[in-house]
Chains A and B, each alone.
Chain A
Amino acid sequence: MPEQPGKNAIEVRGVRKVFGAGEAAVAALDTVSVSIRENEFFTLLGPSGCGKTTLLRLIAGFDYPSAGEILLHGDDIALLPPFKRPVNTVFQSYALFPHMTVAENIGFGLEMLRKPKAEIKARVAEMLKLVRMEHLASRRTSQISGGQQQRVALARALAPQPKVLLLDEPLSALDYKLRKEMQIELKRLQNQTGITFIFVTHDQEEALTMSDRIAVMSAGKILQVGSPWDIYDKPADRFVADFIGETNFLTASIAGIENGKARATLKSGATIAASVADGFQPKSEATVVVRPEHAKLVKGKAELSGTVENIVYFGTDTHIHVRLDGSNDLFIVRQQNARNADCGFETGDKAGIAIGDDAAQVLRD
């Protein structure tokens, strides 16, 4: 998708990063290009080892790319040292200075920028208030809880008012409840400050709930960039579909592509409508995905049929695992739970699976 260069906070162009040399060389990033817009909450999502941290470190300046360029508001910064980049980082480990107090940690960046004392003091107070840590300003950072440390790390990175804030899995060390709270707090901070956030996570739910746009990465490559809705509902390829949420993969023969819709004939013989991404010309045999919540389990005949094998209760909804007739694959259907009523099926029941008109999508793989 073409974008205006002026509107981009960060542009990564054809960046490669190779660690080691000769036989032992590893391409941690394999020709990555991505544009991150101003004031955007942009998330890098991918499994462990896919190169998220490496990309962040290149943007921060802790490492230099083997090839390619990185632009900040249109200027190439690939070779600037980190202390000359208007970019701050919230480290995965927080990396708070243990020999300084909370307030000294927050003021450190401003002090290094040689701001006047009064200004530093005011800004530190403002930051403490923003992250709700006023009462602990003079504590040593080793004497506060993990969640508090995380907030200090955030305040420390925000205090010098960077153009771009990099966050490397900042919430991964927190427990579930605190993580939810911090997610909301991060969103609030981003709205309040208008700073571009580049957020790294391997938690897909976190990515979907917080981001304006998401880049899904795998093995040093960016596979898809899009809004949470795009990524979830229109996965470009098999990896993305599999990595984000639960998905059912069906093999189908494709025919009659028209207006972004194709007729997909499933193994069961049923034909369903499946959407096809713009400009994608699927082969006659392709994989079709259906999200569990877009299918419906019915008593009579439907597009697919099978035997209920397992019923898993999740509180808000129930997952019903169905062994398909014929192909012997497992198909998962998710049903919203109602009060005082079970899902209406029992293990061993014969059931049909109804797939709606807009539920299926043809994958590139």
Chain B
Amino acid sequence: MATAEEIAKAADRRDVRNRWYLSAPALLTIFFAAVGPLAIVLVYSFLTPGSYGDVKWQFSPEAWVSVLFERDIFDDTLSLAGAHISIFWRSVKLAIITTLITLALGFPTAYFMATRSEKTRDLWLFLITIPFWTNLLIRTFAVLQIIRNEGIVNTVLMKLGIISAPIQILYTDVAILIGMAYVYLPLMVLPVYASMEKLDFRLVEAGYDLYASRWQVLRRIIFPLVKPGVIAGSILVFIPAIGAYVTPSVLGGGKNMMLSNLIELQFGQGRNWPLGSALSITVMLIVMVALLVYVRNAGSKEMRHG
């Protein structure tokens, strides 16, 4: 007689999902699109820079050291690389602020859409996705046209006599924030709308019935119930925002660098591919840590509710 273990093994063998050749396409995709490139970046980060770009196949931890430290060219002592750290900090800060702005704008937008009649909802959804049809670069230049010194914002404000000289918005952090918030807003609206649409609005009525004001209903009922959408939206905005390249280079004017601009510098003018690789991996680590902290916090609040 077969033991339970044997039966389980036989069932396992029969299970079509366990035949390796059927999973080959998926495994190949994962290898060539995700694990492989990452492994190359990791290996490069431990090599020595070549003199005209590229790398020399010679082990060196130097790239990782210079992610955070500067080596004094005279006495070889290490000191913290202030420039790098301030760029890290700027990037994280701008990404967080972008996430908050898109949340502040996207949440009411999603609420508005979810409370429309079923027929018109699709139209609103369609309008939200229209910007996706246009190239990112073009959208960014459109923002540039609006906020530059001779742009529509400054022109109108000056014509109205509110300001006498144009406000310098372009090439500041504010410009980068405006650009990123505009570009990533749909990424916040869509997931928040998706959970908002599933919200049972009778619960909102029940809240009002039990003496909750509008603000309390929002905070105690709507927000906890659409939190999965808010978490998803925040992740979707934060990750591309921290690695944004086009928007900060066009609107920040190269003065106000973000991480991607710094990385690009290493592969271009800097001719330091190992440092570029090490910085790339650092970005990934920052994102990972940020997500862990964020999701854990969001989750524990959920637990407190019940």
What residues of chain A have their CB less than 8 Å away from a CB belonging to chain B?
A: 60-62, 81-84, 87-89, 91, 93, 95-101, 104, 108-109, 112-113, 140, 156-157, 160
Contacts and interface: CB of A to CB of B under 8 A. Distances in A.
A82 B205 contact: yes
Contacts of B120: none
**7 pairs of A and B residues whose beta carbons are closest in the complex:** A109-B210, A95-B206, A112-B211, A82-B208, A95-B202, A112-B212, A101-B306
A160 B216 CA distance: 17
Nearest to A166: B209
B210 A100 contact: no
B281 interface: no
Contacts, number: 67
Nearest to B302: A99
Interface string B271-306: 000000000000000000000000000000010011
Interface in B204-221: 205-213, 216, 220-221
B216 A104 contact: no
Contact of B305 (A82, A99, A112): A99
Nearest to B223: A99
9 contacts: A87-B209, A91-B206, A93-B202, A97-B203, A99-B224, A99-B306, A109-B210, A112-B216, A157-B210
B72 interface: no
Contacts of B213: 83, 112
B208 A95 contact: no
B18 to A, nearest CB: 35
Nearest to A93: B202
A62 B217 CA distance: 14
A246 B149 CA distance: 83
B75 interface: no
Nearest to B208: A82
A235 B211 CA distance: 40
Given A93-B202, A97-B221, A99-B224, A140 B209 contact: no
Given A60-B209, A83-B209, 14 more contacts: A83-B212, A87-B209, A88-B209, A96-B206, A97-B206, A98-B225, A99-B306, A108-B212, A109-B210, A112-B211, A112-B216, A140-B306, A156-B210, A157-B210
Contact of B211 (A91, A101, A109, A140): A109
B5 interface: no
A104 B306 CA distance: 8
A6 B115 CA distance: 40
A99 B211 contact: no
